[in-house]
Structure 1
Amino acid sequence: MEPKELILKESLDLFLNHGFKSVTMDDIASRMGMSKKTLYTHYKNKSELVAATSMHMCNFICDGVNNIALDENRTPIEELYEVKSYVMRELRGDNSSSIYQLQKYYPEIHQIISKRMYDFMDNCIYRNVERGIELGLYRDNIDKTFVARMYFIGIQGIKNISIFPIDRFPQDQLYDQYLEYHLRGIVTPAGRNILNELTQSNHH
């Protein structure tokens, strides 16, 4: 692996575990076993490194979600739960403080990432809704664009820790509750059966 790629990988790991603000260039240099001077030959400042790692994380997650969506052995309902598990795993589950720090201390970078995620998710959920209607699992009288955008707004909304403090709303449960809330509004009776099975297994 190229030094630049290795720095990207190790920095992202530190940022996700400790937060984008908390981790310093000194921390990264010491983790890499290199001088700060060498680190600066690859990334000229911390903002550049934060932007590169954020975009890397964003692309990685989009690729993973795409792979899940391409597997037609899952129903669209199962697909959404699988996507949720995947994203939680990659973003270190309950540790949403890293994303919160990105939003607070690097708002321009956060905005670029959010826009990229929005465009990607909008398309992804639209396809999910389309397939759900074709398979008779989602109602055929829903507005696909509206549903896809409401899904995105909801996902953004539950990440707001001033509304959903982590001590009262553990992330994993919160995502499950949100998915069930989203799906109950659009499923047909056949879809509801699949959803009931999934939510019962999640409760156990």
Structure 2
Amino acid sequence: MREKIIHKSADLFINLGFKSVTMDDIAKEMGISKKTIYVHFPNKTKLVEATTLHMFETISYGIDCICALEKNPIEEIFDIKQFVMEHLKNEKSSPQYQLQKYYPKIFTSLKSKQFEVMQGCVTENLKRGLSQGLYRDNIDVDFISRIYFNGMVNLKDQDLFPLKKFSMNTLMEYYLEYHLRGICTPKGLETLIRLLKTNQN
């Protein structure tokens, strides 16, 4: 039952936001009593914590699987973006923004876990891109991986990027192109332009 509650809560939180969804909403959606939820989670904060950890682990595992394929590093970045967007349902409610606002401790802990995973993944991607002549050989890998993570986190700031003006998918597309154009060699740019054309079609 605990797993079922986490899965349903994750779905509701992603679609409607952490603030909007109540324990009553989850109980009603599942056709169970609120008491049943409280058997497994003493309060909403504990449920939010378990749900965000579950989502993080699911996405991290998927990213690891994509990285294990060792595809062209530029294609890999787009594959990861596609996978994340499918899992976060385009973040219509910007759950991460709500998490930061209403559950700052959980947000900080999650951000630190995300940094660890992304730092490893992006560093590997950059090193492979360098060895294949797709990325410029004068880039600082540690700097680029950190600036990339920082940019990704800030895309979710609704004060900077209101969802009414930019969909999360559009923001990710813009950001990946911006990132890659800054580090690609002419050979890398050929791959990037081909992928951008494919995505537009």
Query: Is this a same-fold pair by TM over 0.5?
Result: yes
CA contact (8 A) 2:66 2:79 kept: yes
Aligned to 2:103: 106
Which of 166, 172, 186 in structure 2 is aligned with 1:175?
172
1:12 aligns with 2:10: yes
Aligned to 2:157: 160
Q: Secondary structure at the match of 2:134?
A: coil
1:187 aligns with 2:184: yes
Aligned in 2, Cα 1:34/1:108: closer, same or farther, shift over 3 Å? same
Which of 70, 79, 89 in structure 1 is aligned with 2:68?
70
Please tell me the residue identity of whatever aligns with 2:9.
S
Report the alpha carbon displacement of residue 202 of structure 1 after superposing the two structures with TM: 2.3
Instruction: String of CA shifts for 1:101-155, please: whole Å, max 9, x gaps.
Output: 1111111101111110011101110000001011111112211101101110111
CA contact (8 A) 2:139 2:183 kept: yes
Gap regions ≥5 residues in structure 2: none
Aligned to 2:44: 46
- Backbone CA RMSD of aligned residues: 1.1
Rounded to whole Å, the distance in 2 between the matches of 1:25 and 1:56 is 18
1:117 aligns with 2:114: yes
Rounded to whole Å, the distance in 1 between the matches of 2:155 and 2:113 is 19
Instruction: String of CA shifts for 1:15-53, please: whole Å, max 9, x gaps.
Output: 111111111111111222221112111111110000000
Q: How many residues align?
A: 201
Which of 134, 138, 143 in structure 1 is aligned with 2:135?
138
Please tell me the residue identity of whatever aligns with 1:167.
K
Please tell me the residue identity of whatever aligns with 2:67.
A
Name the TM-score, length of structure 1 as normaliser. Answer: 0.95
Name the TM-score, length of structure 2 as normaliser. Answer: 0.96
Rounded to whole Å, the distance in 2 between the matches of 1:87 and 1:96 is 15
Report the alpha carbon displacement of residue 98 of structure 1 after superposing the two structures with TM: 2.0
Report the alpha carbon displacement of residue 94 of structure 1 after superposing the two structures with TM: 4.2
Q: Secondary structure at the match of 1:93?
A: helix
Gap regions ≥5 residues in structure 1: none
Aligned in 2, Cα 1:94/1:14: closer, same or farther, shift over 3 Å? closer
Which of 26, 45, 54 in structure 2 is aligned with 1:28?
26
